[in-house]
Amino acid sequence: MSTCSNLVWHAATVTRERREKQNAHGSGVIWFTGLSGSGKSTLAHSVEETLHQSGCSTFVLDGDNVRHGLCSDLGFSREDRAESLRRIGEMAKLFMEAGVLVLTAFISPFRADRERIRHLVGEDHFFEVYCRCPIEVCEQRDVKGLYKKARQGLIEEFTGISSPYEEPIAPDLLLDTSNTTLEDSVRKVLSIQRLSGILPR
């Protein structure tokens, strides 16, 4: 039997709105999605650096990093990927409620998982950035050797090889990271119209 019926949400006096006012900027989740090697992590950290230098309260949730702790008990099956992203979505929401601008870098290959997080966070505070890059270019950038192992059948359920990637239908920003410089990509992310409304001026 679930214990949820015995739980009562405790309303805090220090609200998200008060935290945002103290930080002098809004909060939200910038969700970078794309194939392994598409530049998600590099871009997320570069955007964070720019925001940090502007005085913003930020945090990056990165795919490999959360696999070392929060999701260390999960594999890469469809079910485990969904559970991993569920946990990440809940964590991102907590950071957002703390008044932080959260940047995430996850392949997050399935639309349904990304849409669940969008619904959890709220449409007005979820900014999807699709780092589109041809798989051939991603393989050329493959510093971890993951694509080679996947081609050899040593890694199962590898996105782009043995598992599908479902492209976003209407992302807030689509970046072709195979021919866009990092500096230009950062500028374009920070110029997202909906996002600009919560950034400090």
3-state secondary structure the chain: CCCHHHCCCCCCCCCHHHHHHHHCCCCEEEEEECCCCCCHHHHHHHHHHHHHHCCCCEEEEEHHHHHCCCCCCCCCCHHHHHHHHHHHHHHHHHHHHCCCEEEEECCCCCHHHHHHHHHHHCHHHEEEEEEECCHHHHHHCCCCCHHHHHHCCCCCCCECCCECCCCCCCCCEEEECCCCCHHHHHHHHHCCHHHHCCCCC
Domain spanning 14-192: CATH 3.30.70.360: no
The whole-number average pLDDT for the span 13-17 is 85
Average model confidence (pLDDT) across the chain: 89
Q: In the structure, what pLDDT confidence band is assigned to residue 192 with cuts at 50, 70 and 90?
A: very high
pLDDT above 50 (res 51): yes
What does the pLDDT read at residue 4? 66
Catalytic residues, by residue number, are 108
User: For 23-50, what is each residue's pLDDT tens digit?
Assistant: 999 999 999 999 999 999 999 999 999 9
